[in-house]
Amino acid sequence: MKKKILIIDDDPAVVDYLTTLFEDNGYAACSAMTAQDGLKRAQKERPDLITLDLELPDEWGPRFYRKLSSDKELKNTPVIVISGLSGNKYAVSKAVASLSKPFDRDELLKIVKENV
Amino acid sequence: MFKKILFATSATEACDHAARVAFDMAQRYNAHIDVFHVLGIPSRGYSQVVVDVKTGDEVALDDNYRDLVKEEIRTYYDHQIAKTKNWSIDVAIGLPHREILRIARLMKPDMIVMGGSTGASGSYAHKKIVTGSTFQRVAKAAHCPVLVINRPAGSFWGGFSNVVFGTDFSNAADTAFEFAFKLVKELNCDFHIFHALDITGFQMNNLHTQDYIEDQIQKAGRQLRFKYISKMENFKDYAMEVWEGIPFVEIVKYAREKHADLIVMAYNTKKTDEKDASIGSVAEQVILRANCPVISINRSVGK
């Protein structure tokens, strides 16, 4: 069964790009454009990994992560922060990695492979 | 709770993360934000020739120059101002800490928001080992809480809902507690009351037994309950913990562990000279290192 990745980003171009990238590399992908929707999708889909933008329309990434980590079923889901904001590396301290946009697709795939 | 915010800024990259929090607070809590910038220091007393704090150039000060700087600040924060209802921009000349304290006395804000030290334009204070001297002087003398965001990572929360109050049981900590408790009640936050037991004597061969350390932890726990529970009446969303270690490290770790979006602490140091304060109060080290905004409160707040 394919490993599933949840993409949380409010930029449709980034969502499209990541969806294609993950699907082309043998993963299943689903997405959400807000933190609230992201949490619902995570609870429903039980993804093996989440990519998280820091600046979402309804909430900032660290607050989303706080909610995620208080859910017993989801708290160990690896999260990769993908953001264009400076300082993003330290924003979610328990993220498995943080990448700045524009990011290197090979680096992202390598991190995903290591964590799912 | 936050109706008037004074955002003291160098209007450079060093204050971008503080701006993110200040404008977010203004929008979220429907507050008025005054963007305040000290544009220059007079080259001599009452001189109209000032040294521009951003460029380091000597400039002749007139209304045109003030307007020009205001417009520059307006443009710099255009993105955030566009989403903010109540805002103003003020500029002043003089020593930054004096002017910030002066306008704070006049404006009586609920909160002063600052970035870390600016130093040379574009540099970040977290790369230094001490907080900015402007911050130290403002934090020591301000009559209102001072919120500092030193690391960009501390600016990605948006609002307050999970607050850590760090106490050393001092009188200043009592003032800080009053503010923190008022904040958590009004904003319906989770409240984490924390004391760090200082065991740094360990590094000076003052090795305690584990029984002694755990006795001290229990004693501090009793002190926490005795001091604060009665003040919280029917409020239930609180937790109390004592950890042993290096106090500022433990507070930063505790806040990270609890996913805190705000730390409230007393600012105790009497020293404002950068050299003397470089080893710093616990609050200063927490400000430098925290992953969330830190509010420091001195004893004169609210008096």
Q: Which domain holds residue B283?
A: 4-297
Residue B129 pLDDT? 44
Task: Compute the nearest-CA separation of A83 from chain B (Å).
Answer: 11
Determine contact, residues B223/B215, Cβ cutoff 8 Å: no
In percent, the amount of chain B with pLDDT more than 90 equals 60
Q: Which two tokens stand for residue A109?
A: 């795939």
CATH number at residue B116: 3.40.50.12370
Most A CBs within 10 A among B156, B187, B256, hence the mutation to make, goes to: B156
| pLDDT > 70? residue B262 | yes
Task: Report yes or no: B21 at the A interface, CB cutoff 8 Å.
Answer: no
The interface predicted TM-score of the complex, written ipTM, equals 0.85
| pLDDT > 60? residue B60 | yes
> Could you tell me if residue B285 is inside a domain?
yes
Which chain B residue is nearest to residue A68, measuring alpha carbons?
B259
Contacts of A93 in chain B (CB under 8 A): 256, 291
Average pLDDT over residues B112-126: 58
Helix axes B96-107, B133-141, angle to 10 degrees: 30
> Could you tell me if residue B189 is inside a domain?
yes
Amino acid at B279: I
> Could you tell me if residue B303 is inside a domain?
no
Q: Which domain holds residue A46?
A: 4-115
Task: Compute the nearest-CA separation of B153 from chain A (Å).
Answer: 4
Residue B280 pLDDT? 52
Task: Report yes or no: B158 at the A interface, CB cutoff 8 Å.
Answer: yes
CATH number at residue A86: 3.40.50.2300
Find, among B298, B299, B293, B300, the residue nearest to B7 by Cα: B293
Contacts of A66 in chain B (CB under 8 A): 162, 259
Residue A102 burial class via C-beta count within 10 angstroms: exposed 0-12, middle 13-18, buried 19 and up = exposed
| pLDDT > 70? residue B242 | yes
> Could you tell me if residue B254 is inside a domain?
yes
| Number of domains forming the structure of chain A | 1
Contacts of B151 in chain A (CB under 8 A): 87, 90
